[in-house]
């Protein structure tokens, strides 16, 4: 196509019509190719040949060819823009249900701990924490369990290889929360009311009701004239509030080196209200905790005068409490990380 033979007016009309008729992206791409492809495009060739035209022709064809070049590019650009806007669609269907947000929640053990803390808090108990790594003096000796005493066998212990340099005490993973009684009494003056939630560890086989690491809540009340009657009243009130119904409680004689007298605490079965069912092995009762009146030797270890003060102490299995509350039949589910289980709480 020779530039001087170009009817630029006709070309303008043709291009504008083709642009007006174009609908699809492919139509615009075809126009771009037809007119502006570098080697073969109709307009590209005209623009390339301008230098060979007479001055007069250059003046009429040149500006119009440039104008058409810009027009094609801007129309193609506009078409591609509106196409991508169509795709991203700024139109929103406000009736469409929104995406469900996954919100985290507390673990059942944490829920139970919150409840226990709230109830004892309401009865004037404060919360103390202790270390999961203890030395054998706090875990045993101070609790009236001397070295080589057979009572140490009551708690199968994870011993740590490290020794504390100053005292050469043997280190261990605490087998119960009771050592925190000693720490607390060494640092506070009676009267005392405290609960101590915490993780404890035992070198034991696991089964449906036993873990090798589990949670306990230690309780301690020390004052003048504290008796088993105070203990019974406070614990019964706790169980009633915790289970949201009247719970019967009974104390059975037992043995713990750090309490005298010592007892196991049974509560009427939560499942059958004491009628007898598989959960309570038809007895109507469930064993939940160890407890007793603080032994004078324990007061002595902690520097408290046992002639002036008495106290009670107890240790509840928090996991067992959660099992009763939520009717869970295997303690290992708590640490199983199975979301089907955890999402129920």
Distance CA 234, CA 120 (A): 9
Identified binder of ligand FA5 from the candidate list 280, 314, 323, 328, rule CB under 6 A: 314
Q: What is the residue whose two structure tokens read 């009243």?
A: 233
Q: Is 320 in the site for ligand FA5 (CB under 6 A)?
A: yes
DSSP letter at 176 equals S
- In the complex, minimum distance from the CB of residue 201 to ligand FA5, in angstroms, rounded to a whole number: 9
Binding status of residue 204 toward ligand FA5 by CB under 6 A? yes
Contacts for 72 with CB less than 8 Å, ≥ 6 apart: 15, 19, 31, 32, 35, 36, 43
What whole-number distance in Å separates Cα of residue 193 and Cα of residue 237?
15
Q: Does 304 participate in binding ligand FA5 (rule CB under 6 A)?
A: no
Residue 18 engages ligand FA5 in binding (rule: CB under 6 A): no
* Residue of this chain nearest to ligand FA5 (CB atom): 317
- Which residues contact residue 241 at a Cβ distance below 8 angstroms, ignoring those fewer than 6 apart? 119, 122
Contacts with ligand FA5 in 32-61 (CB under 6 A)?
Answer: none
Closer residue to ligand FA5 in complex, CB, 69/144: 144
Considering only the stretches 51-59, 84-92, 206-214, 302-310, report the one whose residues sit in contact with ligand FA5 under the rule CB under 6 A: 206-214
Token digits for 109? 């053990």
Distance in Å, CB of 264 to ligand FA5, minimum: 7
**Residue 311 makes contact with ligand FA5 by CB under 6 A:** no
Minimum CB separation of residue 276 from ligand FA5 in Å reads: 21
Q: How far apart are CA 183 and CA 157, in angstroms?
A: 20
Q: How many CA atoms lie less than 13 Å away from 295 in the CB half-sphere?
A: 20
Query: What mask, x for binding ligand FA5 by CB under 6 A, covers residues 260 to 299?
Result: ----------------------------xxxxx-------
């Amino acid at each position: 196509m020779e530039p001087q033979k170009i009817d630029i007016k006709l070309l303008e009309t043709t291009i504008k019509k083709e642009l007006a008729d174009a609908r699809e992206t492919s139509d615009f791409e075809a126009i771009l190719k037809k007119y502006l492809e570098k080697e073969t495009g109709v307009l590209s060739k005209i623009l390339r040949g301008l230098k060979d035209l007479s001055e007069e022709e250059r003046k009429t064809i040149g500006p119009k060819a440039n104008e058409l070049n810009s027009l094609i590019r801007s129309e193609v650009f506009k078409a591609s823009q509106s196409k991508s806007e169509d795709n991203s669609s700024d139109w929103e269907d406000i009736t469409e249900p929104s995406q469900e947000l996954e919100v985290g929640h507390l673990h059942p053990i944490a829920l139970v701990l919150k409840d226990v803390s709230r109830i004892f808090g309401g009865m004037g108990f404060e919360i103390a924490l202790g270390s999961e790594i203890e030395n054998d003096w706090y875990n045993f000796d101070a609790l009236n369990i001397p070295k080589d005493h057979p009572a140490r066998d009551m708690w199968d212990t994870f011993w740590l290889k490290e020794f504390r340099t100053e005292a050469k005490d043997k280190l261990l993973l605490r087998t119960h929360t009771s050592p925190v009684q000693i720490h607390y009494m060494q640092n506070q003056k009676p009267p005392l009311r405290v609960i101590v939630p915490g993780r404890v560890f035992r070198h034991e086989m696991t089964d449906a009701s036993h873990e090798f690491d589990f949670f306990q809540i230690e309780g301690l009340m020390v004052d003048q004239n504290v008796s088993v009657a105070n203990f019974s009243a406070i614990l019964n009130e706790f169980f009633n509030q915790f289970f949201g119904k009247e719970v019967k409680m009974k104390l059975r004689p037992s043995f713990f080196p750090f309490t005298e007298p010592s007892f196991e605490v049974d509560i009427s079965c939560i499942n059958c209200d004491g009628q007898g069912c598989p959960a309570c092995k038809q007895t109507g009762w469930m064993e939940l905790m160890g407890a007793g009146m603080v032994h004078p030797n324990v007061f002595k270890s902690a520097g408290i005068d046992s002639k002036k003060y008495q106290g009670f102490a107890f240790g509840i299995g928090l996991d067992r409490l959660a099992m009763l509350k939520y009717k869970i039949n295997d303690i290992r589910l708590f640490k199983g990380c199975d979301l089907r289980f955890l999402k129920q709480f």
